[in-house]
């Protein structure tokens, strides 16, 4: 099985790293990476949910091509 993780590098504001370090110190067993992974996982969940809602509304409002819609404005089966 392939490693599910990839390396990600970049600059982060010092004040943000200071907060992450404080959380690490206050959380037994935590590391910078475990805190960052949790932050990214929560962000991903929010973005996926937002995208799902957007697409549900988009499709429910009859924005699909006319050939894909029924007379009620909903997608034909």
pLDDT number for residue 58: 82
What are the tens digits of pLDDT across the range 7-65? 999 999 999 999 999 999 999 999 999 999 999 999 999 999 999 999 888 887 766 66
Return the pLDDT at 1: 84
What is residue 75's predicted lDDT score, i.e. its pLDDT?
55
The angle formed by the CA atoms of residues 35, 41 and 45, to the nearest 5 degrees, is 150
Confidence bin at 77 (pLDDT 50/70/90): low
For the residues of 4-29, what is the DSSP string, one character each? S---------HHHHHHHHHHHHHSTT
């Amino acid at each position: 099985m392939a490693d599910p993780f990839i390396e990600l590098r970049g600059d982060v504001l010092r004040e943000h790293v200071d907060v992450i370090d404080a959380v690490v110190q206050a959380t037994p067993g935590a590391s910078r990476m475990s805190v960052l992974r949790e932050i990214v996982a929560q962000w991903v969940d929010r973005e996926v949910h937002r995208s799902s809602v957007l697409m549900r509304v988009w499709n429910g409002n009859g924005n699909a091509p006319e050939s894909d819609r029924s007379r009620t404005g909903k997608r034909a089966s």
